[in-house]
Amino acid sequence: AAVDNAPAIVIGSGYGGAVAALRLAQAGIRTLVLEMGRLWNTPGSDGKVFCSTANPDQRSMWFRTRTEAPLATFLWLDVVNKDISPYPGALDRVHYDNMSVYVGRGVGGGSLVNGSMAVTPLKSYFAEQFPTVDADEMYRTYYPRANSMLGVNTVDPTWFESTEWYRFTRVSRKHAQNTGLKTTFVPSVYDFAYMQREAAGTATKSALGQEVIYGNNYGKRSLDKTYLAAALGTGNVTINTLEKVRSISRASDGSWVLTADRIDLTGAVVETKQYGCTYLFLGGGSLGTTELLVRARDTGALPALNSSVGAGWGTNGNTMVGRANHLWDTTGANQSTMPVMGIDDWANADNPVFAEIAPLPTGLETWVSLYLAITKNPERASFTYDSASGRVKLGWTAAQSAVSVAMAKKLFDRINSANATIYRYDLFGSTSKVFADDFCYHPLGGCVLGRATDDYGRVKGYSKLYVTDGSLVPGNIGVNPFVTITALAERTMARVLAEDT
Ligand code: FAD
């Protein structure tokens, strides 16, 4: 086992990890980032780095023999998923009892595979979820910093109104308006100037070429183009890829000891490495970070971690649903993969829902209006360590998903009734499934700010150990979460660099 030492180690290269790496490096601290996924910079035999959703190959998913796309079927036919060979692909679907969670794998984490929606939550809801955080300071300093670093932009409203690529969005907006519901444009990290060139035929299509959940070859400002490029540009950051941290412990001198498995492209462990560092930043995401800490506590490696580690996990109230449109309400064969609008009924105190108008980019007319609803589901679950299997389990129940479904159903029943439309029954696998209740895109919590950590992400019970990712968010933030994760990480790094180093 080799020993590599850096003053600071960051586990994971998603939003939380990328912010930590950049700010450490700018402070002159040599930083090593350990990322279990690969670096996505090498074209395959088709000349592309990533594959499209229409033609998934081994690059699509993390060590699978068949893809597991969120929409399992179309007209009840299993036409969506394809056989693939196992490979460290960009999208993973982590299966727990009653819930599977989609996450990104690779340098850039979730930014490689997500829908680019860059949404700042309502200040009042942020304050409700983070009562110990100064919301004024967040909205004055850290949200603007995150938005600017991430390269957030908005679609040109004139182009939006005229392009065939957003007809599906305009149709859903009309149906919302017929229901008396408010819609709002959603900002994005996809470069809309590039998208307009795609539409004009002067740039290679990516968002307009059915690329999204398995990666975008062009147009998207993923973290490898923003925070991580800046971090590497300092000369102080090294990123080791295909290295999965298996355990963390503390040496007698108080430094951190990590054990990591380095895998090859077949998934075989080719080396087990030990690392040591003074400052350890956990950016493995809600699942990755929480799993490492729950295991460390319950195997006795870090016994002083408190009982809040593993708790407070939620799905951001996620549920997907499709509506069937009238024959004259075509949504278009051509659909951009990047959503730009949401139905905003969050102010409805009886049933707060924010529903993204999602594309179904098949290249054919489908008459489907698809949505990713974010509901104010108050249900939370915990991760626990199962010593018999050595695995970390999630205690989410089907009844907890049913709460999200019931909230979304209330909203979409209204939309269907106002437009004399019905649900689609053919999209999520079984003949009766209307709402996707078994997967989520927005895993949040597990090491909640102010409970498992102090108010700045310092893990309680130990010094020089920090959480900077989505595990800090208490299960729900009411909108898509990556801007909030980035802004909180900026806040943590500002404080930690000023006080702890
Ligand atoms: P992640 O981005 O998940 O990064 C964690 C990284 O750590 C990963 O690269 C992982 O491989 C690595 N890692 C984990 N464990 C280990 C370990 N033990 N050792 C080494 N490396 C490890 N959010 C939005 O705001 N807008 C959207 O439009 C949106 N759309 C989405 C669409 C999809 C399909 C998905 C899956 C997610 C979407 N999200 C969206 C959610 C968003 O991507 C996540 O909230 C965000 O990426 C979480 O950031 P993070 O820093 O907590 O962790």
Using the mean position of ligand 1's atoms as its centre, give its distance from the Cα of residue 12 in Å.
9
**Which residues pair with residue 244 across a beta bridge?**
261
Closest residue CA from atom 50 of ligand 1: 285
pLDDT of residue 75: 76
pLDDT of residue 1: 41
Mutate to test the pocket of ligand 1, among 442, 471, 476 (most ligand atoms within 8 A of CB): 442
The residues annotated with a catalytic role in the active site are: 356, 442
From the CA of 489, give the closest atom in ligand 1: 51
Using the mean position of ligand 1's atoms as its centre, give its distance from the Cα of residue 282 in Å.
13
pLDDT of residue 3: 57
Residues 6+ positions from 219 with CB-CB distance below 8 Å = 190, 191, 194, 195, 198, 203, 206, 207
Instruction: List pLDDT tens digits, range 287-318.
Output: 999 999 999 999 999 999 999 999 999 999 99
Closest residue CA from atom 11 of ligand 1: 105
Our measurement of the distance from residue 142's CA atom to the centroid of its chain's CA atoms, rounded to an integer in Å, reads: 19
In which band, very low, low, confident or very high, does the pLDDT at 71 lie, cut at 50, 70 and 90? Answer: confident
Using the mean position of ligand 1's atoms as its centre, give its distance from the Cα of residue 75 in Å.
31
Q: For residues 414 and 343, is the Cβ–Cβ distance under 8 A? A: no
Q: Which residues contact ligand 1 via a Cβ below 6 A?
A: 11-17, 34-37, 102-105, 109-110, 113-117, 213, 244-245, 283-286, 288, 292, 441-442, 469-470, 480-482, 485
Closest residue CA from atom 39 of ligand 1: 114
From the CA of 17, give the closest atom in ligand 1: 51
Closest residue CA from atom 40 of ligand 1: 114
In which band, very low, low, confident or very high, does the pLDDT at 4 lie, cut at 50, 70 and 90? Answer: low
Closest residue CA from atom 12 of ligand 1: 12
From the CA of 470, give the closest atom in ligand 1: 52
pLDDT of residue 73: 79
Instruction: List pLDDT tens digits, range 396-432.
Output: 999 999 999 999 999 999 999 999 999 999 898 876 7
| Tokens of residue 429, six digits | 């696998």
Instruction: List pLDDT tens digits, range 240-254.
Output: 999 999 999 999 999
Using the mean position of ligand 1's atoms as its centre, give its distance from the Cα of residue 109 in Å.
5
Mean pLDDT on 34-59: 96
| ipTM value greater than 0.85 | yes
* Residue 131 exposed, middle or buried by CB count within 10 Å (0-12, 13-18, 19+): exposed
CATH of segment(s) 3-499: 3.50.50.60
| Tokens of residue 46, six digits | 């088709």
Using the mean position of ligand 1's atoms as its centre, give its distance from the Cα of residue 227 in Å.
15
Whether residue 333 has pLDDT greater than 90: yes
From the CA of 12, give the closest atom in ligand 1: 7
Cα separation, 94 vs 102, in Å, equals 6
Instruction: List pLDDT tens digits, range 179-204.
Output: 999 999 999 999 999 999 999 999 99
Helix or strand or coil: residue 458? strand
Whether residue 2 has pLDDT greater than 50: no
Q: For residues 142 and 488, is the Cβ–Cβ distance under 8 A? A: yes
Mutate to test the pocket of ligand 1, among 113, 239, 441 (most ligand atoms within 8 A of CB): 441
Mutate to test the pocket of ligand 1, among 33, 36, 39, 488 (most ligand atoms within 8 A of CB): 36
From the CA of 480, give the closest atom in ligand 1: 25
Outline where 179-252 has alpha helix (H): 192-200, 227-233
From the CA of 286, give the closest atom in ligand 1: 52
Helix or strand or coil: residue 289? helix
| Tokens of residue 56, six digits | 């998934």
Whether residue 388 has pLDDT greater than 90: yes
From the CA of 482, give the closest atom in ligand 1: 25
Closest residue CA from atom 4 of ligand 1: 14
Using the mean position of ligand 1's atoms as its centre, give its distance from the Cα of residue 326 in Å.
37
Q: Where are the domains of the chain?
A: 3-499
In 3D space, the residue among 94, 113, 89 whose CA is nearest the CA of residue 265 turns out to be 89
**How many CB atoms lie under 10 A from the CB of residue 411?**
24
pLDDT of residue 429: 81
> Structure pTM?
0.98
**Which residues pair with residue 93 across a beta bridge?**
102
From the CA of 444, give the closest atom in ligand 1: 45
pLDDT of residue 399: 98
Using the mean position of ligand 1's atoms as its centre, give its distance from the Cα of residue 352 in Å.
25
In which band, very low, low, confident or very high, does the pLDDT at 76 lie, cut at 50, 70 and 90? Answer: confident
Closest residue CA from atom 31 of ligand 1: 114
pLDDT of residue 78: 79
Using the mean position of ligand 1's atoms as its centre, give its distance from the Cα of residue 16 in Å.
9
Task: Find the radius of gyration of the CA atoms of the chain.
Answer: 22
Cα separation, 336 vs 179, in Å, equals 25
Taking CA atoms, 21 is separated from 87, 118, 224, 239, 453, in Å, by: 27, 21, 12, 10, 20
Mutate to test the pocket of ligand 1, among 370, 482, 485 (most ligand atoms within 8 A of CB): 482
Mean pLDDT on 365-375: 96
Using the mean position of ligand 1's atoms as its centre, give its distance from the Cα of residue 50 in Å.
17
Closest residue CA from atom 49 of ligand 1: 15
Mutate to test the pocket of ligand 1, among 117, 477, 480, 490 (most ligand atoms within 8 A of CB): 480
Instruction: List pLDDT tens digits, range 440-474.
Output: 999 999 999 999 999 999 999 999 999 999 999 99
| Tokens of residue 155, six digits | 């679609």
